[in-house]
Structures are given as C-alpha cells and as structure tokens.
Structure 1
C-alpha cells in the first residue's frame, strides 16, 4: 500500500512544479498578473512603434495583440469572459523601448485564471495566495452577506442567537403578545 508523501516530498514537488511553471511563463512573449477582479498583461515591443502601428482587439471572449503586418503576439480565446467596456490598452514608453499594457476586467470576479489565452501554459491557481480585501471593495449585496456572516459568527462565539434565530424569537414574541390566551411555557424553537 503506497504511503502518502512526507511534508519534505510535498515541498519538493511544489518547488519543482513552481519552477516548471515559471519556466513556461518565461517563454511567453508577455508577462501577466491578476487580482480576483482583473488581469493585466504587458508586452514589450520596439520603441519605434506608435499606437497606429498596432492591431489590438479586445472582445468578451478573445484577445488579439499584434503589430500590423506581423504575426500576432497574442491571439486566442480567453478562459473566461471579460467586461469589454471596462477593459483597455495603452502604449507606454519604458526605459528599454515601449510596452503595450492590456487591462482586462473579469466578468466573474470570484475566480482565478490559469492563463491569459486558452492555448498558453497554465498556472496552478490552487496555489494563489489572494491579497487581503477590504469590505469596502465588495459590491453592496456581497458586503451585506459577509457582514451578516461575521455578525452571526461573533454571536455564536458569545453563545447568543444568530440573526436568523433572533428573527424567529422576535416573531414568537410578537405572536405571544397577539395571543395572550395561549400557553407557550412548553414551546420549543428549532
């Protein structure tokens, strides 16, 4: 019966996987980073090019970045849809030439991307350590849900009723006041 790998063996496997991933990513003609909300791609190009020399198309499910008359630098399907109206590209001068910066705004802001286009090598998204987010970064509905969960957690820790349990108790109290003739001494809430 095979034994499960030791912590040292797992660390070695993780390090080998990370090195393989880094080597694959280094071969790409661009660099990319992401947050849970967006993806940023930077592509170094020769300093002689201007914006009019570029052929860049950003659509909901695909990305093409090329210098006119040349093979595309990036051309393929995105792994997940983006918000086209909130996605942009710029051409910036950097110390050793120019750089095309592409900003892609994710539609689903609750998932990590394994690659920029589906034909590129994947990264292991399970190893991503997300940055701490602030409640103020969340949309109203999500923020309300998280705040309720946090409040309920604190209530449980203090041995007090959660918001849902409190709502039931309040309804029962209201019902008792409306029906004083009824006996609630053996009532159980569950």
Structure 2
C-alpha cells in the first residue's frame, strides 16, 4: 500500500481580527528579538544607523571598527567583537562613517548601495524584521537629489490643468457670470 500523494493546500484566510492578533503577536516577538541584540538600529531608504554600546570611558584608540562592502566588525581591540558578521546587503564603504559618542557608544552610519530597499536585519545572523510593516518618514521634495526631485514634481503635475487650460477656464467662468441666461452645461474647453 502506497502513501497518499501530498495535496497542495492553501492556508485558510484569516479574519480581520485574527490577522490583527497575528500581526500584534509577530510585532511583539520582533520587538523582543530586536531588544535582545547588543546594538540598536534604524534605517531610511538611503542609510542605516547602528548604535553599539561600549564600556563608559572607552577611547577611540581602543576600538576595532571595520566596515567593508558586505561585512562589519565593531568591538574593543583584543576582545570578541560586539557586532560582527555579513551585512544583509552591500554598503558604500567610502560614504559610511563611525563615531565614538560620549565615550560610551559607537554610532555607525552605513550608506546603502541600493537605496530603494529596506533591510530586514543589519547582519545576516540577526533575527529579521518584517519590512512590509515599515512606515517610512515623510520626506520633503528638498531632501531629494535633483533628478529624482524633477521626476517627482513632473509626476505631481500629471492630471493637473496647464496654465493655458487654467486661463481658458477662468475666461469661461467670467463669460458665464456676464451671461447667466446662456446654458453652458455642454460647453467644452479645447
């Protein structure tokens, strides 16, 4: 007697309440996992900021910090690194920096090579976050580079009337006010 063939089953869809409960449960698990890391981090589409606590009174010459295209190492010389591993994605090494703040934490700014994606984690050995739940900060047009800004401004203008169309609409409105006896319901501007 042979075993029955496996049947592809689609998991049943969750109700809205079940989905909210699952999302809350996952968010709580994710929060616990992130708080357990020996560092804190946040990101924008352009960069990642990682803050690594070090013993109070630490001096820059005591630090061992290495930033490579796909790897990071942060710690004290001669000791196990506090943060080390393969980065989730590539960085622009020449545009990435680190500083020692108040002799008690190292702040690392990693410039993303691909500035159109969210990272699920800093290093591949760390627990992932759900990047679909990220709510990006509102950005200003002035924050964008020239080419991107021009494209966004052009997209924002799509569907809006041009200055010529606005002039025609204004002329029609004035003419309608001067001639209320006329029916303009089928008037077309063109």
**Same-fold call, TM cutoff 0.5:** yes
Match of 1:183? none
Query: Which residue in the other structure is 2:107 paired with?
Result: 101
Mark the runs of 5 or more structure 2 residues left unpaired by the alignment. 1-9, 166-190
Q: Partner of 2:61 in structure 1? A: 52
Q: State the match for 2:18 in structure 1.
A: 9
Query: Which of 87, 91, 103 matches 2:96?
Result: 87
Query: Which has the higher Rg, Structure 1 or Structure 2?
Result: 2
How far the C-alpha of 1:155 sits from its partner, in A, is: 4.4
Q: 1: CA distance between counterparts of 2:55 and 2:13? A: 51
Match of 1:39 in 2: 48
| Alignment pair present for 1:112 and 2:85 | no
For the structure 1 residues 134 and 69, does the alpha-carbon distance in structure 2 shift closer, same or farther, using more than 3 Å as the test?
same
Measure how far apart 1:138 and its partner are.
1.5
1:44-74 superposed Cα distances (whole Å, 9 cap, x missing partner): 1111321111100011211110111111111
**Which of these residues, 80, 86, 104, is aligned with residue 77 of structure 1?**
86
Q: Distance in 1 between matches of 2:20 and 2:14?
A: 10
Q: Of 138, 149, 152, which aligns to 1:143?
A: 149
Distance 1:147 1:10, change over 3 A: same
TM-score in terms of structure 2 length:
0.75
Provide the secondary structure at the position in 2 that maps to 1:39.
strand
Larger proportion of strand? 1
Aligned length: 154
Within 5 Å, give how 1:117-132 maps onto structure 2: 117-132=123-138
The Cα RMSD (Å) is 1.9
Runs (4 or more) in structure 1 with deviation over 6 Å come to none
Deviations 1:100-129 (A, max 9, x none): 111111122211111011111100000000
1:137-184 CA distance string (max 9 Å, x none): 12222222212211113249xxx8xxxxxxxxxxxxxxxxxxxxxxxx
Residue of structure 2 in register with 1:163 after alignment: none
